[in-house]
Chains A and B, each alone.
Chain A
Amino acid sequence: MVWFIVCTFLGLLLLSTPIAIVVLATTAGAVSIFLNVPLTALVQQLFRGLDNFLLLSIPFFILAGNIMAEGRIAHYLVQSMDACVGRFRGGLALAGILTCMFFAAISGSSPATVIAVGSIMIPALIRSGYSEKFSIGLITSAGTLGILIPPSIPMVLYSLVGNTSVSDMFMAGVVPGVIRVIIFGAFAVYMARRFNWGATSSHSLGETLRILGRASWGLAMPLIVLGGIYSGIFTPTEAAGVSVVYALLVETFIYRSLTWEKLRVILVKSAVLSSALLFIIACAMPFIWLLTREQLPVQAAEFIGAHISNKYVFLFLVNILLLAVGCVMDIVTSILVLTPIFLPMLAHFDIDPVAWGIMMIVNVEIGFLTFPFGLNLFVAMGITKKPLTYIARAVMPFLLLLFVCLLMVTYIPVISTWLPFALK
């Protein structure tokens, strides 16, 4: 049966069949050939997969992100970051990274962050004298902070199949995210000084305050969303719903940037992307049910446990596997399919599921940036009208920095686990 699953899966995948259908067809095939179970059981699993209040957060986060990107919130965020740190050399690049961080703290997606920040920041960086390649590489890679800094859609997915709390996962991403900001920031400032890039902008104190004041509606959002979750006022799903309404109210009544036509475009775009994601989740649930029912993950864990005894070697090999998978497959499927397979091994090697989750998220971030299927590369291609290979080369130095971060979260798990436990 394992061979049937692997061959069908790969065969359909190579045909360019939509991944949701690949998973569904593989499961349906395996169930009807090897199990004595009617296919209505599959439909029940399909339904049960979606019957979860947590999943509602995914369309909400997408919707909120699109509203802010189409409206003025993202724009004012960029301006306020520039006003704060743009006064010294390398400051504008730093402002770009910080805006990505801030936008990440109000949206849960990496491509959305690149669109929102990149379309304003990349031209601004180039205009102020930064090399084009560096500017594109910087924002395209800093956009991956979108899924490491809470809230984060992939973290919701991981919690869903990994039996961890979403709030813990969200908190666990904060410290690795800040470390990333520092590493990227140091590199950007070093490059700017070395090559003498970037004019410095100087805003008077009054002007800075005025810009900050105008952006305060957007700046307050992470406080509302994360503060609300951790003070127990609302659940992560409700936080996502509230952020949609908040963004909508701010854009409509305060910034007055939304027209009916814009809203229609935002709604359709969000609905299409959300359903594509939710549909994969629905289709993956019967597959996970099949795996668990046949105890395949447990068997795999026993096999690996018998052959690899060292935890660090195991972690290293898993990272290689995840990186390879990240190069060819989309992130949602890899989280949904791989998490249940690895879960029994975590107990065997005494690995914390939260730290493991963050490790997977960083792998996913790298997957966003690797040729030829990295989603962020395509988004950057859309914004800058440069060829894919050019953008893939532009993110190279940042990929190396990301590998350093990956090693850190893999081998120093306390980076991830410290904050969620400190808050308990």
Chain B
Amino acid sequence: MKNFLRILGHIEELTVGGLLLLLAVGTTIQVMTRYFLGMTFDWFDEGSRYLLVFVTFAGAGMAVKYGAHFSMEAVTQYAPPRIAAALRTLAALLSAAVMLVIAWYGWEQTTLLARYGMTTASLGMPMWVAYLPIPVFGVGIALRFLGRALGQARIMFGQTAEERD
């Protein structure tokens, strides 16, 4: 299970990073073809915007794992370790709850779009596909926040190194 999660994590990282690189290469090719051949591709502009939604929500989960989300540590930095851990647990639980709410309504919005059969302007792709990253990765982000809450709760209830000595 642990190995499986680690491999999944690697795939996630390389997909998101690779997509960014791919988008940069695509943008450059677009500039070249426009300048030298006078050709533009409307679908690239549209596709890259929807991929950006995918990258953001997929990457936001990774950012939880790396603790890269910006937060204000004014209180937690100077509070005693256990109180700080308690505050962080609460913050992570709240974050998980908020993301679950967003995922829920994101799913509602996605199914709504699927029912109406809306498609995107130039790719003709079903619109719900573009929205799908919000509910799917929304749940993923919530799970990562839960994991973080668990880790902080352990610090809160567990003994610190100094107490053991």
Contact = CB atoms under 8 A, between A and B. Distances in A.
Interface of A: 12-21, 24-25, 28, 38-40, 42-44, 46-47, 50-53, 55-56, 59-60, 63, 233-234, 237-238, 240-242, 244-245, 248, 264, 266-268, 270-276, 278-280, 282, 328-330, 332-333, 372-373
Report, nearest first, the 10 A-B pairs whose CB atoms are least far apart: A275-B59, A267-B17, A241-B27, A18-B69, A244-B24, A17-B91, A278-B56, A279-B60, A271-B17, A276-B63
Nearest to B75: A14
B55 A279 contact: no
A50 B49 contact: yes
A16 B134 contact: no
Given A18-B69, A40-B108, A267-B17, A59 B98 contact: no
B49 A267 contact: no
Contacts of B162: none
B123 interface: no
A53 B48 contact: yes
B56 to A, nearest CB: 4
Nearest to A26: B98
Given A47-B130, A278-B55, A332-B70, A16 B91 contact: yes
Contacts of A267: 13-14, 17-18, 20-21
Interface of B: 13-14, 16-18, 20-21, 23-28, 30-31, 35, 45, 48-50, 52-53, 55-60, 62-64, 66, 68-77, 87-88, 90-91, 94-95, 98-99, 101-102, 105-106, 108-109, 112, 130-131, 134
Contacts of A40: 105, 108-109, 112
Interface of B is mostly: helix
Given A40-B112, A43-B106, A53 B13 contact: no
Contacts of A18: 64, 69-71, 91, 95
Given A24-B102, A280-B70, A275 B49 contact: no
A12 B94 contact: yes
Contacts of A25: 94, 98
A104 B2 CA distance: 42
Interface centre among A244, A276, A330 (most CB of B within 10 A): A276
Contacts of B30: 238
A51 B49 contact: yes
Given A21-B98, A28-B98, A274 B55 contact: yes
Contacts of B49: 50-53, 56
Contacts of A266: 17
Contacts of A245: 24-25, 28
B87 A56 contact: no
Contacts of A14: 72, 74-75
Interface centre among B23, B55, B68, B99 (most CB of A within 10 A): B68
B70 A28 contact: no
Contacts of B98: 21, 24-25, 28
Contact of A373 (B21, B27, B72): B72
Nearest to A278: B56
A276 B70 contact: yes
A64 to B, nearest CB: 8
B70 A56 contact: no
A275 B60 contact: yes
B136 to A, nearest CB: 13
Contact of B105 (A20, A42, A329, A372): A42
Contacts of B66: 272
16 contacts: A18-B91, A46-B102, A47-B131, A56-B52, A59-B52, A60-B23, A60-B27, A241-B27, A244-B21, A267-B13, A267-B21, A268-B13, A268-B62, A272-B68, A276-B69, A278-B56
A56 B91 CA distance: 30
A43 B58 contact: no
A328 B31 contact: no
Contacts of B87: 15-16
A39 B14 contact: no
Given A24-B98, A271-B17, A274-B59, A328 B72 contact: yes
Given A14-B72, A25-B94, A272 B63 contact: yes
A14 B75 CA distance: 6
A16 B71 contact: yes
Contacts of B63: 272, 275-276, 279
Nearest to A330: B70
Contacts of B102: 24, 28, 42-43, 46
A63 B20 contact: yes
A15 B90 contact: yes
A364 to B, nearest CB: 14
